[in-house]
């Protein structure tokens, strides 16, 4: 399909593109069977996009937690409020930094590889071959990757947040010498399970779905050439990052 | 199937670590599991001024949380704030002359409702009201009074 050829092409195109993406999404979901063979390919994809992203997520989470407590201790020291470091780190990690940074890292680490893989399959006529064998490539290729992304991102977010808390504990208690009891009691009294942690989990489900949908859609929609796959990969990262930050604002403003 | 074994093991371990991280965060770093439970009874108290006490604020005796504020409404006749709170049922021997005060944790911390047990032999039942109350300490009012009294002292001399 070509892009629309009206005089207002540049205005119409984003909406046309969004509509196509949504159609693709519903078309993909009709293939959801929840049976053995499909679960096996989902598990395979969870390994590729989730388990293989574990190391980068853990390292990043740890250092984000450390730098956040460094900044917090330095700023709060001026008011003599170092006791609030646990509260500040906990709330900001659970509500914002955990879900958003994990989703951005996931877009860079896994989204790109999904797009490039599907794009290359298209360029080497593997998608065509599936059509000829009467296998629906959207259900066979795109769906497991999408489901794996939706499952993996919330778990990666939880691991990221846990590592960030750990980094914050090691830095603020071990290095800056804050009190262990005050740190944990601040977290346990002022950080709420439903409002803070669960809001982050909800966000991460939305972000996981967004990044995975954008990745499979751009891969599937890419021009079957080397340059086309490259462009599609770039577009995946750019659009997922922008959408993550826009959705983040929308969800936060509705939930608080 | 031999090649799949490693993949399935790795994804299984990943799922397990993810769920474990979530559980650890919930139990160690949030207020999860610190609810007072569903087994509660209701008490109420009237205050001139509740300041920024909110539904959900803790109710404490001796610093230990025994319940939470359920609702705050205004009595349309006496214009007093009626605070209704739910208390965990295992603390069912609170004397009837117990006083309630709106306190602050730390200098600028959150408000909470502190109960000061009296010595009466009979206990508060579900739906009872506490009559000895002390309103919130509002810094502006205290400063205002202080300035006013300092000024009048100067005037009399």
Chain A interface mutation, best of B1, B3, B10, B11, highest count of A Cβ atoms under 10 Å: B11
In the predicted model, is pLDDT for residue A174 greater than 70? yes
Q: Nearest residue on chain A to B8, judged by CA atoms? A: A43
Q: Nearest residue on chain B to A94, judged by CA atoms? A: B25
pLDDT digits (tens, 9 = 90+) for B74-87: 999 999 899 999 88
Residues of B in contact with A94 (CB under 8 A): 25, 29-30
How many other C-beta atoms can be found within 10 angstroms of the C-beta atom of residue B143?
10
Does A155 sit within 8 Å of B8, measured CB to CB?
Answer: no
The pLDDT value given to residue B153: 58
pLDDT averaged over every residue in chain A? 89
**C-alpha count within 13 angstroms, C-beta hemisphere, residue B28:** 15
Instruction: Return the minimum-mean-pLDDT range out of A95-99, A252-256, B2-6.
Output: B2-6
Give yes or no for A187 touching B (CB within 8 A).
yes
More confident residue, A34 or A16: A16
Looking at CA atoms only, how far is residue A149 from chain B in angstroms?
A: 13
Looking at CA atoms only, how far is residue B22 from chain A in angstroms?
A: 5
Within 23-42 of A, beta carbons closer than 8 Å to B belong to: 40
Q: Name the residue among A51, A94, A162 with its Cβ closest to that of B21.
A: A162
pLDDT band at A2 (very low <50, low <70, confident <90, very high): low
Q: What is the spatial distance between Cα B68 and Cα B65, in angstroms, rounded to a whole number?
A: 8
In the predicted model, is pLDDT for residue B157 greater than 50? no
pLDDT digits (tens, 9 = 90+) for A100-121: 999 999 999 999 999 999 999 9
pLDDT band at A96 (very low <50, low <70, confident <90, very high): very high
Highest-scoring range by mean pLDDT, A170-184, A241-255, B138-152: A241-255
Q: Name the residue among A44, A156, A188 with its Cβ closest to that of B18.
A: A156
pLDDT band at B154 (very low <50, low <70, confident <90, very high): low
Chain A interface mutation, best of B7, B14, B111, highest count of A Cβ atoms under 10 Å: B14
ipTM value: 0.83
Q: Name the residue among B17, B30, B31 with its Cβ closest to that of A159.
A: B17
Query: Considering only CB atoms, which residues of chain B are within 8 Å of chain A?
Result: 4, 7-8, 10-11, 13-15, 17-19, 21-22, 24-26, 28-32, 34, 110
The pLDDT value given to residue B56: 79
Looking at CA atoms only, how far is residue A47 from chain B in angstroms?
A: 5
Looking at CA atoms only, how far is residue A122 from chain B in angstroms?
A: 25
Average pLDDT score over residue span B99-105: 85
In the predicted model, is pLDDT for residue B45 greater than 60? yes
Looking at CA atoms only, how far is residue B152 from chain A in angstroms?
A: 35
Residues of A in contact with B7 (CB under 8 A): 43-44, 47
Contacts of A241-246 with CB under 8 Å at 24 or more apart are A241/A104, A241/A107, A243/A210, A243/A214, A244/A100, A244/A103, A244/A104, A244/A107, A244/A207, A244/A210, A244/A211, A245/A100
More confident residue, B46 or B3: B46
Q: Name the residue among B21, B32, B110 with its Cβ closest to that of A159.
A: B21
In this structure, the strands spanning B40-47 and B81-88 are antiparallel
The pLDDT value given to residue A159: 95
pLDDT band at B33 (very low <50, low <70, confident <90, very high): low
In the predicted model, is pLDDT for residue B2 greater than 70? no
Q: Name the residue among B7, B17, B30 with its Cβ closest to that of A47.
A: B7
Residues of B in contact with A68 (CB under 8 A): none
The pLDDT value given to residue B1: 46
Q: Name the residue among A54, A161, A189 with its Cβ closest to that of B31.
A: A189
In the predicted model, is pLDDT for residue B35 greater than 70? no
DSSP states of A19-58: HHHHHHHHHHHTT---SHHHHHHHHHHIIIIIGGGHHHHH
pLDDT digits (tens, 9 = 90+) for B111-151: 888 888 888 888 888 888 888 888 877 777 888 888 888 76
SS3 label, residue B62: coil
pLDDT digits (tens, 9 = 90+) for A4-17: 677 777 788 888 88
Does B10 sit within 8 Å of A47, measured CB to CB?
Answer: yes
SS3 label, residue B115: strand
Instruction: Return the minimum-mean-pLDDT range out of A30-39, A72-81, A125-134.
Output: A30-39
The alpha carbons of chain B give a radius of gyration, in whole angstroms, of: 24
Give yes or no for A110 touching B (CB within 8 A).
no
Looking at CA atoms only, how far is residue B25 from chain A in angstroms?
A: 6
More confident residue, A208 or B30: A208
């Amino acid at each position: 399909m070509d892009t629309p050829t009206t005089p207002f092409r540049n205005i119409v195109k984003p909406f046309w593109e969004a509509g196509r993406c949504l159609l693709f999404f519903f078309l993909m979901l009709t293939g959801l069977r929840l049976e053995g063979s499909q679960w096996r390919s989902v598990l395979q994809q969870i390994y590729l996009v989730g388990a293989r992203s574990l190391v980068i997520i853990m390292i990043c989470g740890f250092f984000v937690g450390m730098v956040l407590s460094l900044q917090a201790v330095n700023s709060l020291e001026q008011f003599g409020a170092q006791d609030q470091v646990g509260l500040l780190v906990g709330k900001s990690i659970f509500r914002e930094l955990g879900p958003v940074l994990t989703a951005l890292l996931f877009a860079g680490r896994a989204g790109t590889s999904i797009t490039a893989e599907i794009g290359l399959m298209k360029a080497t006529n593997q998608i065509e071959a599936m059509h000829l064998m009467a296998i629906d490539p959207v259900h066979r290729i795109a769906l497991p990757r999408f489901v794996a992304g939706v499952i993996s991102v919330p778990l990666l977010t939880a691991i990221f947040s846990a590592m960030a808390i750990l980094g914050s504990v090691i830095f603020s208690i071990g290095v800056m010498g804050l009190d262990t009891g005050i740190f944990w009691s601040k977290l346990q009294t002022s950080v709420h399970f439903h409002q803070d942690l669960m809001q982050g989990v909800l966000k991460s489900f939305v972000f996981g779905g967004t990044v995975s949908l954008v990745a499979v859609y751009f891969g599937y929609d890419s021009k079957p050439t080397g340059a086309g796959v490259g462009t599609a990969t770039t577009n995946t990262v750019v659009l997922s990052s922008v959408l993550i930050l826009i959705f983040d604002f929308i969800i936060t403003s509705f939930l608080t | 199937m031999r090649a799949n074994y490693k993949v399935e093991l790795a994804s299984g371990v990943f799922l397990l670590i993810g769920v474990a991280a979530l559980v650890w965060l919930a139990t160690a770093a949030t207020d999860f599991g610190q609810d007072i439970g569903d087994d509660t009874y209701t008490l109420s108290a009237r205050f001139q001024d509740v300041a920024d006490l909110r539904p959900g604020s803790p109710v404490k005796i001796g610093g230990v949380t025994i319940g939470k504020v359920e609702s705050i409404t205004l009595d349309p006749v006496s214009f007093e704030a009626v605070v209704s709170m739910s208390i965990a049922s295992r603390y069912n021997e609170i004397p009837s002359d117990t006083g309630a005060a709106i306190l602050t944790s730390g200098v600028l911390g959150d408000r909470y409702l502190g109960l000061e047990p009296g010595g009466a032999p009979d206990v508060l039942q579900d739906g009872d009201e506490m009559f000895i109350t002390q309103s919130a300490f509002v810094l502006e009012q205290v400063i205002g009074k202080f300035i006013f009294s300092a000024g009048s002292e100067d005037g009399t001399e």
